[in-house]
């Protein structure tokens, strides 16, 4: 049995890096390198936040567009795919499901070079369209795999009753299937947005300037000559804030979604 003291210690250790990040964001450059080290800033300094907001505002918009659009497209494709695999006796459906899962296991770095060449040949390098398509492709396997298990738990009797009432397949999916798996959809939306919002690899390799995302802007404050710790901390706080808010507001959906089907009656 885990004691209360252990929980408090683990919680403190978990919060400590975030606390350091928050304090560093309000420090001046002189305070960052002062010896002995300054733990708390002498005054509340928002100059770092003002600077990064002016410097990185286009990258906020790029990250937002890429996250929202890729998640929407992934859901648009994943919902009918997952419903078909869950409801119909498709030949070798189990193999298809395992293949979908295996694509998610593949490390993105393994395909980054051929994707880079393809993007340049097609003309979508350093464009939001290219990033959205790329993130959609990598969000899609996760979305399909999660939603399959949710659709399998929906009682068939409800859909059969809807058929008797004259509903067609699209109406059954729109008005019965999707509302009953909204917890699963919430899980897919939350995790897809968070992964896309925090992605550095694709943003770093597949963009140059026009479609640069927030994590790339954050990394640009560190170079071989200097590391602007105070600016990195301020931008990291701003980048983390939406994720924390989304997770806090939707934690009920995350818990219910991830534990869906875990306990059988």
User: What tokens appear for 142 in the block?
Assistant: 């996760």
Domain range for 87: 48-258
Domain annotation covers residue 263: no
State whether residue 262 is helix, strand or coil. coil
The rounded distance, in Å, linking the Cα atoms of 118 and 134 is 11
Contact (CB, 8 A) for 140 and 208: no
Q: Give tens-digit pLDDT for 67-119.
A: 999 999 999 999 999 999 988 877 888 888 888 888 888 888 999 999 999 99
State the total domains in the chain.
Answer: 2
Contact (CB, 8 A) for 66 and 213: yes
- The answer, as to whether pTM is greater than 0.85, is yes
The rounded distance, in Å, linking the Cα atoms of 22 and 108 is 31
The H-assigned helical ranges of the chain are 4-25, 29-32, 47-87, 93-105, 112-122, 128-153, 156-164, 169-172, 178-180, 182-198, 201-206, 214-219, 229-249, 251-258
Please report, for the domain that includes residue 187, its CATH number: 1.10.3720.10
The rounded distance, in Å, linking the Cα atoms of 95 and 114 is 26
Closest by alpha carbon to 50, among 231, 218, 225? 231
In a shared domain, residues 28 and 141: no
The rounded distance, in Å, linking the Cα atoms of 16 and 21 is 9
The rounded distance, in Å, linking the Cα atoms of 93 and 210 is 41
In a shared domain, residues 15 and 131: no
Domain annotation covers residue 115: yes
In a shared domain, residues 179 and 95: yes
Percent with pLDDT over 70 in the chain: 95
Q: Give tens-digit pLDDT for 31-69.
A: 888 888 888 888 888 999 999 999 998 999 999 999 999
């Amino acid at each position: 049995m885990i004691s209360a003291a252990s929980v408090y210690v683990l919680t403190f250790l978990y919060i400590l890096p975030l606390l350091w990040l928050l304090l560093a964001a309000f420090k001046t450059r002189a305070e960052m390198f002062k010896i002995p080290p300054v733990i708390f800033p002498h005054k509340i300094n928002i100059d770092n936040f003002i600077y990064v907001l002016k410097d990185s505002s286009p990258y906020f918009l790029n990250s937002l567009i890429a996250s929202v659009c890729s998640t929407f497209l992934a859901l648009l494709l994943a919902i009918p795919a997952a419903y078909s695999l869950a409801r119909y006796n498709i030949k070798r459906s189990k193999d298809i499901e395992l293949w979908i899962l295996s694509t998610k296991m593949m490390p993105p770095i393994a395909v980054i070079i051929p994707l880079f060449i393809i993007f340049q040949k097609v003309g979508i390098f350093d464009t939001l369209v290219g990033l959205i398509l790329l993130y959609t492709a990598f969000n899609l396997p996760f979305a399909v795999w999660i939603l399959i298990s949710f659709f399998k738990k929906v009682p068939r009797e409800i859909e059969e009753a809807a058929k008797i009432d004259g509903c067609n397949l699209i109406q059954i999916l729109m008005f019965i299937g999707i509302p009953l798996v909204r917890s699963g959809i919430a899980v897919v939306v939350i995790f897809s947005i968070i992964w896309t919002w925090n992605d550095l690899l694709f943003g770093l390799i597949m963009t140059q300037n026009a479609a640069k995302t927030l994590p790339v802007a954050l990394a640009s404050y560190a170079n071989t000559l200097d590391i602007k710790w105070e600016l990195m901390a301020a931008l990291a706080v701003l980048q983390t804030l939406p994720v924390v808010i989304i997770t806090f507001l939707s934690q009920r959906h995350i818990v219910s979604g991830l534990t869906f089907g875990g306990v059988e009656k």
